[in-house]
DNA sequence: ATGGTTGTCCTACAA
């Protein structure tokens, strides 16, 4: 089974890129972030025409997350239980015997801002919920835009970024606490090229200059990590005209 | 140098 995550930064704008990518890669499950549309405006017919079922936690203008899957996606949940959040950032569902959680972690804006504090509170709530999910679902995968680069090697210029949002100690500690529940960062199970990133700012020709961060992740429970045979960033869609600022990450699991 | 680009939606705001 091939699972994937992609922050598309507007599903309406990126639908042609998504369709081309689905046709080329044929993942079984895709988690999308920043769909930026209400449920009523989700392009369901187009997705179904590509052979995918879908579930969506939509929102106008901002956020919005979806799971596309070839099989039926059951036991669907939206948001973090017992965490009141007006922003649509989480959707979860069962695909076969695997529990899929799609997350769009708050960006945090800048260290010390209200949005930063919200990000840290949000991550703590996510951790509490995932502890319970992990106990209930041994085969658990959490995929999405975490808006955190875990280590220096995940940052094009660690010195320039030191202490900034997306790389600050508190954010990294929060991500580590999450992973320490019993997950593996699937990307780091394998040898990877240097300067592997998943997001490049639209400004300053950052992509061409390889000025990126690795902030999109696939976290696998131990039971899934044992059967993980590959994980990679697919930079091809980032090279197209009018791209998302994020590239998809794919992950292969044995059945 | 606090720059620059994109998406949503109309004027800023978020990223």
Q: Tens digit of pLDDT for each residue in A185-231?
A: 999 999 999 999 999 999 999 999 999 999 999 999 999 999 999 99
Task: Say if pTM beats, i.e. exceeds, 0.95.
Answer: yes
Q: What local confidence, expressed as pLDDT, does residue A228 receive? A: 98
Q: Which of A145, A154, A185, A245 is catalytic?
A: A145
Mark whether A252 is an active-site residue: no
The shares of helix, strand and coil residues in chain A, as percent rounded to the nearest 5, are 30, 30, 40
Distance A69 CA to B7 C1' (A): 26
Q: How does pLDDT run across A125-142, given as a tens digit for each residue?
A: 999 999 999 999 999 999
Q: What local confidence, expressed as pLDDT, does residue A255 receive? A: 80
Question: What is the number of alpha carbons within 13 Å of residue A89 lying toward its C-beta?
Answer: 20
Distance A92 CA to B12 C1' (A): 33
Mark whether A145 is an active-site residue: yes
Q: How does pLDDT run across A11-53, given as a tens digit for each residue?
A: 999 999 999 999 999 999 999 999 999 999 999 999 999 999 9
Task: Find which nucleotide's C1' atom is closest to A246's CA.
Answer: B15
What positions of strand B are covered by protein, i.e. any atom < 7 Å from a CB?
Answer: 4-9, 14-15
Q: Which of A104, A116, A185, A245 is catalytic?
A: A104
Average pLDDT of the residues in A62-80:
98
CB A214 within 8 Å of CB A235: no
Q: What local confidence, expressed as pLDDT, does residue A93 receive? A: 98
Q: How does pLDDT run across A144-193, given as a tens digit for each residue?
A: 999 999 999 999 999 999 999 999 999 999 999 999 999 999 999 999 99
Distance A35 CA to B11 C1' (A): 22
């Amino acid at each position: 089974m091939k699972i994937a995550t992609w922050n598309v930064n507007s599903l309406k704008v990126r639908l042609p890129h998504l369709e081309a990518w689905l046709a080329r890669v044929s993942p079984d499950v895709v988690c999308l972030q920043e769909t930026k549309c209400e449920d009523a405006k989700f392009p369901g017919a187009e997705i179904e025409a590509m052979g995918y079922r879908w579930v969506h936690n939509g929102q106008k203008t901002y956020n919005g997350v979806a799971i596309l899957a070839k099989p039926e996606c059951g036991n669907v949940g939206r948001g973090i239980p017992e965490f009141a959040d007006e922003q649509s950032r989480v959707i979860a569902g069962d695909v076969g015997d695997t529990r899929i959680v799609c997350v769009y972690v708050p960006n945090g804006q800048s260290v010390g801002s209200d949005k930063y504090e919200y990000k840290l509170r949000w991550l703590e709530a996510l951790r509490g919920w995932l502890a319970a999910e992990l106990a209930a679902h041994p085969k658990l995968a959490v995929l999405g835009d975490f808006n955190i680069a875990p280590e220096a090697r995940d940052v094009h210029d660690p010195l320039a970024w030191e202490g900034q949002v997306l790389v600050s100690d508190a954010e990294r500690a929060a991500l580590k606490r999450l992973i320490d529940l019993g997950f593996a960062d699937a990307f780091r199970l394998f040898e990877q090229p240097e300067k592997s990133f998943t997001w490049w700012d639209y400004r300053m020709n950052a992509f061409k200059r390889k000025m990126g961060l690795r902030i999109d992740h696939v976290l696998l429970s131990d039971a899934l990590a044992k059967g993980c045979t590959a994980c990679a960033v697919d930079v091809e869609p980032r090279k197209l005209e009018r791209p998302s600022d994020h590239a998809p990450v794919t992950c292969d699991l044995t059945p």
